[in-house]
């Protein structure tokens, strides 16, 4: 069974969180709104309506492209992808095919053994979402609120060879979207959607297999990994039996833990792409790309490297801490607060990760104090603490004066002084109480 | 170029046009004639000629990301042939997309 | 007050200002005339019951809020748009009212007006003849004095050709001058809304009213270039170079029409213009390129008609619409894009360059609008290719995006002939000025069809 190698490519769709639609002015904030209440003539595809490009969406798409090391095209065009489906009001989707906005990028992924591989990204292009169908007995209900919400598609080359790489890639993309602030990238809500093209070939072969199975409509990373693993096995078994595999689209049945056929090759589309005559082309000057690039936040990959080198924490911890921009910022704020009282970044990293600190509720200062208090060999004798407090009070007249003049914040630096003198081996609350008693007496 | 009736049928399917056998015959003949006429384009040398998709020469025409106005639900649905609780309705499609 | 309906738009504005008659009297006069004449000519698909303000006729492919808009198709027989086209909003601001929506070839696809699902419009000059198309009702309405002016749309000649065949003024503006928002798209890279009027000065005024970006049509160009100023020196064309393309006088051009056009050119020369021969060598490929580009865009634009959000089912498209959808769908399908669409887009560049080169030698280009005068109803309907070829002189300017004006310049076999004046991109000013000087030094625009005693 081991003489086969999977060949996997990924198409990722991400819905942008712009205020208005991709090509018109109605609200793009459609989630849980009344059906057909966020529409206008353009995204309903009414006769006579016309599209107008949303600049924010184009910038967001370029940011994603830049984050994925793509080239931004000098000339880019929107095209029409023609097909009929009740959720597609115009009978075509405005998308990009021959002239995508961003192309030839890459992203490094890690497999389960920690091996790093560069996945080539063919393109990052801009398009629009469809409406939403609800199937009830014999009828299909259509809500066009989601119609024409900006959607970015990221198409990889078939460079993945196992499901753990796919998982890492998807996670990293999700992180990037969130760092850039371009999408919530929530899989369950459908902000982010994955499609995998899976086939297998004999090890040693270099040509792409002459078929591929598209896995679609799978709304979690976990299910996608399971579906890919199932497919690899199913395909190898089929080939071993001498069966011929052909192009088809399959979905994932979580109850049965197996993939199932959705559409076969005979129903393949002919999209008849051509440049959308309603939309002038996009020409990106280098200066504009540069200024966009310089305004981008530090991305997870760079942050991990910096955390390791600046704070001396482990790679594993760094990766956990950069999981979200908020957590990474929290960590850095805590490190800053910890400096005064000698609490090390490593201790802070371990504490935040092991205790699963709720960053919305616990203040960085509290974390620092907690860590300080947990130090071994805590001095509990109040007499000894008082002695140190007295010393600190003598040495910090300015802070004492500040405190007495109403700047009660000054107590923080006095606490810090006590912590330093005792190597952090005192209970912060005791120190605070003793200090307050002495200052207010 | 001569279109076969199979090509016409395939094209009608792509275009979602319900055509009768008779119409398919007529269109096969008419469109073949039109395509014969159009084939004279092959006489024009266009090597190195850039295509014209838009005569205005405009580029980067974009709008700010601002919400203008949503249609009311009633206005959105006013021309629908079939509706149900502010949803548009169409006959059942298979959930295969 | 018998002659109210004979006045031009500008004359009517002046008369209203001088209180020679009221807005009510104006509308009453037009409505009465419509009641008498419309049943014979089938010009209007919708007539407003209590029209107010300046009575204009609007081609029924332009969306009007709360007024049924059919595009001449059975598929939209019950469509009431929840919004108005930009041009309608702009006219409203200028005090223009809609007296009715005019008949047309279904979705503007046709050159005779016969492709309407609501029956053909007849030519006011001869009721056995076609009025031209696709703005058949709009041109006939102006010719029969059933409105002060009309709006049409022109994709490959649909304003200029019916204006020519009905003996009125028709202006196709440069592509991008007038916002298309609200005009139901036929071929988006070619469609343009424009005025059909009783005089060239009227066309200039209406153009001013409706021009300029609206933030909805991305292809609409900068307002700075949208001013049209009337010429200062009337009656003289000294210093103007008028180009005459030899390709517009080849085989296929009716002898009678040619004679009238040659005389009009002579008149321009008498007025002081310098006549120069120019060449537009790719003219013979224009119809072929146009039919690929137009039908490809049509096939996509017509896809929104799925009977779900508006309209009835796709079986309700008429034969010409189906034919173009089929042609365009085929041309774009796998394996044919490069041979057809890409090739046609390259030929389009050559046609555009032909004009750019010709305009180095002249300010305007003149020639016939249509190779023949109005033909018999039913004459070409069974032969689509022949019908397509009747647009041979209007299509090149459409592909190049340049403006074109049709001005009445005489009669052949008792039917009107229009002179086509083509200008540089966005230079409507020059063609309107030359058109006006020609018009004012001839009497053709004062000729009216005889619609009998009851009119």
Q: How far apart are CA A166 and CA A147, in angstroms?
A: 29
Report the share of chain A in percent with pLDDT over 70. 97
CB atoms within 10 A of CB C119: 12
Domains in chain B, please, with CATH?
5-43 (1.10.20.60)
Kindly list the residues from chain C whose CB atom is less than 8 angstroms away from the CB atom of residue B34. Answer: 291, 327, 384-385, 388
Taking the CA atoms of chain A, what radius of gyration do you get in angstroms? 28
For B4-56, how does the pLDDT look when each residue is reduced to its tens digit (9 = 90+)? 999 999 999 999 999 999 999 999 999 999 999 999 999 999 999 999 999 99
Q: How far apart are CA C21 and CA C39, in angstroms?
A: 27
Task: Establish if B56 touches chain A: CB-CB under 8 angstroms.
Answer: yes
- Tokens for B96, please give them: 């295969």
Task: Establish if A55 touches chain B: CB-CB under 8 angstroms.
Answer: yes
Q: How far apart are CA A368 and CA A31, in angstroms?
A: 39
Let me know: does C290 contact C395? Beta carbons within 8 Å. yes
Which pLDDT score, from 0 to 100, does residue B92 have? 65
Mean pLDDT for A371-386 is 73
Which pLDDT score, from 0 to 100, does residue C436 have? 94
The answer, yes or no, to whether residue C420 has pLDDT greater than 80, is: yes
Please list the residues that pair with C408 across neighbouring strands. C418
Kindly list the residues from chain C whose CB atom is less than 8 angstroms away from the CB atom of residue A92. Answer: 300, 303
Nearest to C69 by CA among A53, A41, B88: A41
Let me know: does C378 contact C399? Beta carbons within 8 Å. no
Do the Cβ atoms of C218 and A272 come within 8 Å? no
Let me know: does A331 contact A352? Beta carbons within 8 Å. yes
Transcribe B21-49 into DSSP letters. Answer: HHHHHHHHHHHHHHHHHHGGGGGS--TTP
Kindly list the residues from chain A whose CB atom is less than 8 angstroms away from the CB atom of residue B88. Answer: 36, 141-144
Q: What are phi and psi of A338, to 5 degrees?
A: -75, -20
- Tokens for A390, please give them: 């007295």
For C132-174, how does the pLDDT look when each residue is reduced to its tens digit (9 = 90+)? 999 999 999 999 999 999 999 999 999 999 999 999 999 999 9
Measured in angstroms, the CA of B67 and the nearest CA of chain A are apart by 5
Do the Cβ atoms of A48 and C81 come within 8 Å? yes
Let me know: does C399 contact C284? Beta carbons within 8 Å. no
Query: ipTM of this model?
Result: 0.95
The answer, yes or no, to whether residue A404 has pLDDT greater than 90, is: no
Mean pLDDT for A265-269 is 67
Name the residue with tokens 């689209």: A249
For C315-335, how does the pLDDT look when each residue is reduced to its tens digit (9 = 90+)? 999 999 999 999 999 999 989
- Tokens for A424, please give them: 């952090």
Q: How far apart are CA C300 and CA A80, in angstroms?
A: 8
Transcribe C367-427 into DSSP letters. Answer: EESSSSS--BTTSSTT-HHHHHHTTTTTHHHHHHT--EEEEEEEEETTEEEEEEEEESTT-
Structure confidence at residue B94 as a pLDDT band (50, 70, 90): low
Higher-scoring residue by pLDDT: A410, A67: A67
Task: Establish if A25 touches chain C: CB-CB under 8 angstroms.
Answer: no
What are the residue ranges of helices labelled H in C42-124?
86-93
Mutation for testing the C interface, residue in B13, B29, B55, B79 having most C CBs under 10 Å: B55
Q: In chain A, where are the structural domains located? A: 4-294, 300-373, 382-440
Give the orientation angle of helix A364-373 with respect to helix A345-354, to 10 degrees.
100
Mean pLDDT for A36-45 is 97
What residue in A sits closest to C60 (Cα-Cα)? A48
Q: Which residue of B60, B67, B91 is in closest CB contact with A139?
A: B91
**Please, what is the average pLDDT of chain A?**
92
Neighbours of chain B (3+ CB pairs under 8 A): A, C
CATH fold of A382-440, please? Answer: Arc Repressor Mutant, subunit A (1.10.10)
Q: Which residue of A53, A143, A263 is in closest CB contact with B63?
A: A53
Structure confidence at residue A427 as a pLDDT band (50, 70, 90): confident
Structure confidence at residue C1 as a pLDDT band (50, 70, 90): very low
Do the Cβ atoms of B8 and C80 come within 8 Å? no
Least reliable range by pLDDT among B84-93, C5-14, C288-297: B84-93
Q: Could you check whether the bond before residue C134 is cis, i.e. omega within 30 degrees of 0?
A: yes
Q: Calculate the alpha carbon distances from B40 to A302, C285, C307 in Å.
A: 58, 7, 38
**Correct CATH for C4-446 of 3.90.1300.10, 3.30.200.20, 3.30.465.10, 3.40.640.10:** 3.90.1300.10
Mean pLDDT for A387-400 is 89
3-class DSSP state of A126 = strand
The answer, yes or no, to whether residue B96 has pLDDT greater than 50, is: no
């Amino acid at each position: 069974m081991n003489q086969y190698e999977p060949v996997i490519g990924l198409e990722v769709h991400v819905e942008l969180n712009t205020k208005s639609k991709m090509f018109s002015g109605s609200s793009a904030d459609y989630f849980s709104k009344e059906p057909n209440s966020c529409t206008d003539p353009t995204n309903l595809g009414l006769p006579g309506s016309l599209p107008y490009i949303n600049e924010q969406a184009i910038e967001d798409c370029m940011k994603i492209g830049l984050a994925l090391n793509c080239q931004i095209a000098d000339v880019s065009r929107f095209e029409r992808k023609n097909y009929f489906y009740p959720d597609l009001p115009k009978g075509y989707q405005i998308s990009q095919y021959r002239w995508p906005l961003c192309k030839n990028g890459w992203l490094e992924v890690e497999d389960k053994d920690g091996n790093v591989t560069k996945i080539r990204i063919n393109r990052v292009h801009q398009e629009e979402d469809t409406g939403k169908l609800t199937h009830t007995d014999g009828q299909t209900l259509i809500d066009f609120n989601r119609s024409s919400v900006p959607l970015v598609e990221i198409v990889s080359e078939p460079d993945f060879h196992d499901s753990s790489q796919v998982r890492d890639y998807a996670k990293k993309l999700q992180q990037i979207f969130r760092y850039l602030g371009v999408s919530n990238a929530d899989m369950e809500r459908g902000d982010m959607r994955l499609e995998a093209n899976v086939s297998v070939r004999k090890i040693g072969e270099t040509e792409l297999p002459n078929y591929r199975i598209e896995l679609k409509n799978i709304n979690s990373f976990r299910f996608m990994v399971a579906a890919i693993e199932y497919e690899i096995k199913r395909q190898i078994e089929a080939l071993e039996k001498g069966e011929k595999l052909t192009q088809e689209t399959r979905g994932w049945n979580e109850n049965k833990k197996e993939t199932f056929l959705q559409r076969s090759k005979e129903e393949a589309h002919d999209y008849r792409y051509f440049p959308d005559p309603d939309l002038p082309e996009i020409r990106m000057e280098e200066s504009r790309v540069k200024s966009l690039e310089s305004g981008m936040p530090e991305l997870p990959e760079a942050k991990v490297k910096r955390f390791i080198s600046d704070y001396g924490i482990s790679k594993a911890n760094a990766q956990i801490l950069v999981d979200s921009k908020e957590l990474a910022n929290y960590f850095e704020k805590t490190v800053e607060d910890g400096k005064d009282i000698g609490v090390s970044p490593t201790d802070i990293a371990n504490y935040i990760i092991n205790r699963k600190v709720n960053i919305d509720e616990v203040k960085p200062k509290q974390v620092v104090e907690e860590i300080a208090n947990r130090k071994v060999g805590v001095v509990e004798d109040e007499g000894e603490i008082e002695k140190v407090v007295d010393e600190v009070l003598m040495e910090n007249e300015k802070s004492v004066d500040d405190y007495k003049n109403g700047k009660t914040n000054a107590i923080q630096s006095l606490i810090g002084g006590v912590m330093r003198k005792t190597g952090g081996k005192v209970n912060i609350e005791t120190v605070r109480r003793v200090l307050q008693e002495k200052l207010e007496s | 170029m001569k279109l076969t009736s199979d090509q016409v049928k395939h094209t009608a399917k792509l275009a979602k046009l319900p055509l009768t056998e008779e119409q398919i015959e007529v269109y096969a003949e008419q469109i073949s004639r039109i395509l014969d006429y159009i084939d004279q384009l092959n006489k024009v040398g266009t090597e190195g000629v850039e295509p014209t998709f838009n005569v205005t020469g405009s580029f980067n025409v974009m709008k700010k990301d601002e919400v203008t106005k949503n249609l009311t639900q009633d206005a959105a649905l006013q021309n629908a042939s079939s509706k149900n609780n502010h949803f548009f309705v169409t006959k059942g499609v298979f959930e295969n997309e | 007050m018998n002659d109210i309906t004979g006045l031009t738009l500008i004359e009517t504005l002046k008369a209203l200002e001088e209180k020679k008659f009221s807005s009510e009297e104006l509308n009453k006069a037009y409505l009465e005339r419509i009641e008498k004449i419309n049943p014979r000519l089938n010009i209007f698909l919708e007539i407003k019951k209590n029209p107010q303000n300046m009575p204009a006729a609007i081609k029924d492919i332009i969306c009007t809020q709360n007024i049924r808009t059919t595009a001449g198709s059975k598929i939209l027989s019950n469509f009431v748009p929840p919004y108005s086209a930009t041009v309608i909003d702009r006219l409203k601001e200028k005090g223009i009212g809609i007296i009715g929506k005019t008949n047309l070839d279904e979705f503007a696809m046709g050159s005779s007006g016969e492709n309407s699902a609501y029956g053909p419009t007849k030519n006011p000059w001869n009721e056995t003849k076609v009025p031209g198309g696709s703005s058949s009702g709009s041109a006939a309405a102006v010719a029969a004095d059933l409105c002060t002016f009309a709006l049409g749309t022109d994709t490959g000649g649909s304003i200029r050709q019916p204006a020519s065949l009905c003996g009125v003024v028709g202006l196709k503006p440069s592509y991008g001058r007038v916002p298309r928002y609200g005009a139901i798209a036929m071929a988006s890279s070619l469609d343009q809304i424009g005025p059909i009027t009783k005089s060239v000065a009227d066309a200039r005024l209406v153009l001013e009213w409706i021009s300029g970006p609206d933030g909805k049509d991305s292809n609409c160009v900068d307002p700075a270039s949208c001013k049209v100023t009337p010429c200062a020196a009337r009656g003289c064309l000294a210093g103007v170079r008028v180009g005459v393309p030899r390709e517009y006088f080849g085989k296929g051009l009716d002898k009678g029409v040619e004679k009238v056009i040659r005389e009009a050119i002579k008149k321009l020369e008498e007025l002081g213009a310098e006549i120069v021969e120019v060449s537009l060598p790719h003219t013979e490929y224009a119809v072929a390129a146009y039919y690929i580009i137009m039908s490809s865009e049509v096939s996509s634009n017509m896809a929104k008609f799925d009977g779900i959000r508006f309209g009835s089912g796709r079986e309700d498209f008429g034969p010409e619409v189906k034919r173009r959808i089929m042609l365009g769908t085929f041309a774009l399908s796998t394996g044919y894009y490069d041979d057809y669409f890409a090739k046609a887009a390259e030929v389009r560049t050559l046609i555009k360059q032909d004009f750019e080169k010709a305009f180095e030698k002249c300010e305007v280009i003149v020639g016939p609008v249509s190779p023949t005068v109005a033909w018999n109803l039913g004459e070409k309907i069974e032969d689509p290719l022949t019908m397509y070829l009747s647009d041979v002189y209007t299509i090149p300017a459409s592909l190049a995006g340049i403006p074109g004006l049709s001005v009445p310049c005489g009669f052949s076999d008792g039917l009107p002939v229009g002179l086509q004046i083509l200008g540089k991109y966005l230079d409507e000013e020059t063609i309107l000025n030359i058109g006006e000087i020609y018009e004012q030094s001839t009497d053709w625009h004062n000729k009216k069809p005889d619609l009998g005693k009851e009119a």
